[in-house]
Structure 1
Amino acid sequence: MYEVGKCRLREILKSKRMTQVKLAELTGISKQQINNYINRQHIVGVMGLGTLRTIAEALNLDSPYELYEMKRVARSPEEAASD
C-alpha cells in the first residue's frame, strides 16, 4: 500500500529550470494557483487529477505520480489476511 507525500513541484521546476510563470503559460493554470500548490506542498491531495495530468504533461514527466512523493506503507498482518 502507498501513501501520498508532499508535492514535488518546486524541485521539479528547479531541475527543469522553469519558472512558475512559464508553467502557467503552458498549462493555462494561474501563476497564483501554481504558487499555491508549491507553498502548500505538505497538504496531500491539493491538486485534482486533471490538474495533476496537465502539469505532468507540460513538464514532460513520465508519470503524473512524479509530482508527489509516494511512500510505501507497511500493512498489518490482519489487513493482508483480509485480501
Structure 2
Amino acid sequence: MVDGDILLHLTEKELERDIGMSSGLHRKRFIRELESLKIAADYSAVDESNLDQLLMSLSPELSVYTYKVSLYLDL
C-alpha cells in the first residue's frame, strides 16, 4: 500500500519495478503530476518552522524541499 509519505518519495524506477507501471510515458506523466502535487501540498502539519512559506516566497518550485528538510529538523 502506498501512503502519502511513500508517494512523496517515489522514483521513476520504483514506479516501474515495484508498482508495475511499464509505460515510460505514463511514468513521466505521473512524476510530472507528482511534482505539481508536491508544490501544491499543504505542509503545515510537518512544517512548524514555516519553511514552506519562505521557500514559496523565493520560488514555488522550491516548496518540494519542505517535506525532506522537515524530516531532518525533527531528528
More helix by share: 2
TM-score higher than 0.5 = no
Larger Rg: 1
What's the TM-score once normalised by structure 2's chain length? 0.29
Higher relative contact order by CA 8 Å / sep ≥ 6: 1 or 2?
Answer: 1
More strand by share: 1
